[in-house]
Amino acid sequence: METYEQLLNQAHEKIKPISHNGERFEIPKIEGHIEGTKIVLTNLPQIASYLRKPADHMLKFLLKELATPGTFKNSIVVLQRKISSQKINEKIEEYVKEFVTCKQCGKPDTEIIKDKGFTFMHCLACGAKHSVRAKI
């Protein structure tokens, strides 16, 4: 009969090693293509869903930060001028820093709440409550 230690070692050998960089939250990169003088973004709704934020809120932030007009139809975003994907990804990272990650614990488990005319970000992990920009 095998000892507990031997069984434990056998079980440990059968476990797959974890292959990630230790970060459980990674911001997805934007995907899209150029059509003439416009940029078509195809995965903005999926990114917003992953971040658990409304797609229209995220789009409004991007349009203001990139200083460009744009439209949102059938889960496709069309920006009216050429902008590099690197610049768009930087703005998405700024959005995540301001509206997604908790300033107290750094976790992405947050929700945006409006209370008495003020907008707050409430962390579901630690319970912290921080004010955020109401007007984007």
CATH number at residue 38: 3.30.30.170
Say if 6 falls within a structural domain: no
Say if 9 falls within a structural domain: no
Concatenated DSSP letters of 40-78: EESSHHHHHHHHTS-HHHHHHHHHHHHT--EEEETTEEE
Say if 66 falls within a structural domain: yes
What confidence tens digit (pLDDT) does each residue in 87-96 have?
A: 999 999 999 9
What confidence tens digit (pLDDT) does each residue in 3-18 have?
A: 899 988 888 888 866 5
| Same domain? 71 vs 34 | yes
Where residue 28 falls (left for φ over 0; alpha for ψ -120 to 50; beta otherwise) is beta
| Same domain? 32 vs 95 | yes
What is the model's pLDDT at position 40? 95
Provide the residue range defining the domain that includes 95: 27-100
The domain tally of the chain equals 2
Say if 16 falls within a structural domain: no
